[in-house]
């Protein structure tokens, strides 16, 4: 039996990962410290979520040293942008059906 519901991308459908993608969409690139502060998560928690997004190629992570200190910069890829657009479209469809009072 086919589901009436479009699949929501399970990689994006996480508060932290969705926040990462939205922040990157707004700023093009961000560093690790900025994301950690804005989202309010620990280093380990953020690292885990970044790894998941990087594995799906939704983000690109660049590591380098700046003044002998490590600096991690994260950017959203075209694939990540497309995935967010699809996720948003599917979520909007759910909300449209509910707002129209349609039986799901």
- Per-residue pLDDT of 22-56, as tens digits, reads 999 999 899 999 999 999 999 999 999 999 999 99
Element (H, E) at 69: strand 69-76
Element (H, E) at 71: strand 69-76
Nearest CA to 9 among 104, 79, 102, 99?
A: 79
Return the pLDDT at 104. 59
pLDDT > 90? residue 4:
no
Q: Is there a contact between 12 and 91 (Cβ–Cβ < 8 Å)?
A: no
What is this structure's pTM? Answer: 0.86
Q: Is there a contact between 84 and 77 (Cβ–Cβ < 8 Å)?
A: no
Return the pLDDT at 1. 39
Instruction: Look at 94 and 21; give whichever has higher pLDDT.
Output: 21
Please name the fold of domain 15-99. Answer: Arc Repressor Mutant, subunit A (1.10.10)
**Cα(54)–Cα(10) distance, rounded to whole angstroms?**
14
């Amino acid at each position: 039996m086919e589901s009436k519901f479009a699949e929501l991308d399970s990689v994006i459908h996480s508060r932290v990962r969705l926040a990462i993608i939205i922040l990157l969409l707004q700023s093009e690139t961000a560093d690790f410290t900025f994301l950690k502060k804005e989202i309010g998560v620990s280093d380990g928690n953020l690292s885990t979520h970044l790894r998941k997004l990087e594995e799906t190629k939704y983000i690109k992570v660049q590591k380098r040293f700046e003044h002998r200190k490590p600096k991690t910069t994260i950017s959203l890829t075209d694939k990540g942008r497309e995935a967010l657009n699809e996720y948003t479209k599917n979520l909007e469809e759910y909300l449209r059906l509910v707002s129209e009072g349609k039986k799901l």
